[in-house]
Structure 1
Amino acid sequence: MGEQVYIRLRHKIKIPKEKKLLLKDIAFITANDHWRKLLENTFIYQVKKDDKNIVVLDIYSVIQLLGNQHPNLEFQSIGPNQTIAYIDVSPKKPRLFIVGFIWLLLFIGSGMAIMNFHYDVSMQEVQQHLHYLLTGKSNPYPLWLQIPYSIGLGLGMILFFNHVFKKRINEEPSPLEVEIHKYQQELDNYVILHENEMSKNDDHD
């Protein structure tokens, strides 16, 4: 039995175009210093132009490659079975006209949604009735209730999303960030599943 080497693939990485991937780029290695330093610089994959924007590397292929080069070592995998490498694409500079149009569209849409919600629940009538219960007088526009309510609605949205522009209020993730994280996990699982199906089809061919 050869010396044990433990390999833990990174779940996902971001890489530049046409990069030569070494083992240290995609995995953590546990072994003695001599073997760890030697294995870290093992060439794994050359990113090609036709790879588009995602490359999936499987632990089976990695261990097979390492086993052929170092038959005296025994490789054990722990953690994820695939590494998803996202090829870094230079972001395009946003156009102010498009950004402004989207911002205006979202502003009007969210405003309409809030107004329709308040209309459906008869919020104005509720505030008028609350004013009558507290003061004993009727008032069609109880501004002393409506103005603080409007301010509180905006502050509540800020606290809910946990952001003031780019600044985070506290370390807790916002509900939107949690949903984005769930979506990213499902997207990663789909990419891995799709890659496995493609590999099976290639094997059959």
Structure 2
Amino acid sequence: MVNTIYIRMRSRVETNRFNKITLSQTAQILAPDQYLPELPDLIVYELKKDDNQLVVLDVMHVIRIISLHFPDCDIQTIGPNQTIIEIIREKKITSMPLFLFVWILLFVGSGLAILNFHEEVSMQAVHQKLYWIITGKENTKPLLMQIPYSFGIGMGMILFFNHIFKKRFNEEPSPLEIEMFNYQQDLDHYVAIKENNESVKRLDD
């Protein structure tokens, strides 16, 4: 009777430098009860000093390791063919002057971008026109329109990004989170393809 082990590779895992990577870290496992105690702690890769920050672990390597320990089992894979291992190094503490400099730079830059956009579309003239339509009076500085509009921009940005500091309004991801997720997916795909191409080149050499 054939004993079947099913594994589903994870897309990305994070670990400290020079750790031994186990099967449970890199894949979900479904197997007969007699194999489950040993499979999760099976070492499938050991990080080396010359490894880069990103290491691609291919499913064929994992199958080879499992087959060596469980030769009488049939191994079936589901899902991704690679797991990207990201090595987390010690994070440097950001100094307060650097934090303030970056914060001021972003604040001024975003403010100038909004001002330039409003100048390009003649927003002040639009407010003046709206003020004249509503009140019937001309006003070169229609603060009655400009002040609520300024607050509305801030509120709109908060609602758009679904965050105010670390607080979320609902579980729906913000457009920024979706773009970051898509960027991460493209980056992982690129790293996996590049690693495969380099492996082929090494074999050819």
**Mapped partners of 1:142, 1:105: distance in 2:** 30
CA deviation after TM superposition for structure 1 residue 180, in Å: 0.8
SS in 1 for 2:36: helix
Q: Retained in 1: the 8 A contact 2:4–2:32?
A: no
AA of the residue aligned to 1:44: V
Match of 1:188 in 2: 188
Unaligned stretches of 5+ residues in structure 1: none
More helix by share: 1
The answer as to 2:83 corresponding to 1:107 is no
Match of 1:155 in 2: 155
Aligned pairs for 1:14-93 (under 5 A) are 14-93=14-93
**Mapped partners of 1:146, 1:76: distance in 2:** 64
**Mapped partners of 1:149, 1:171: distance in 2:** 28
The answer as to 2:170 corresponding to 1:204 is no
AA of the residue aligned to 1:47: L
**Mapped partners of 1:157, 1:73: distance in 2:** 55
CA deviation after TM superposition for structure 1 residue 197, in Å: 1.1
Unaligned stretches of 5+ residues in structure 2: none
CA deviation after TM superposition for structure 1 residue 68, in Å: 2.6
**Mapped partners of 2:70, 2:158: distance in 1:** 56
AA of the residue aligned to 2:17: K
The answer as to 2:142 corresponding to 1:142 is yes
The structure 1 segments of at least 4 consecutive aligned residues displaced by more than 6 Å after TM superposition are: none
**Percentage of identical aligned residues:** 48
SS in 1 for 2:79: coil
Q: Retained in 1: the 8 A contact 2:3–2:32?
A: no
Q: How many residues were matched structurally?
A: 205
Match of 2:117 in 1: 117
AA of the residue aligned to 2:14: K
Q: Retained in 1: the 8 A contact 2:128–2:140?
A: yes
CA deviation after TM superposition for structure 1 residue 188, in Å: 0.3
Q: Retained in 1: the 8 A contact 2:4–2:75?
A: yes
Q: TM-score, normalised by structure 1?
A: 0.95
**Mapped partners of 1:170, 1:29: distance in 2:** 33
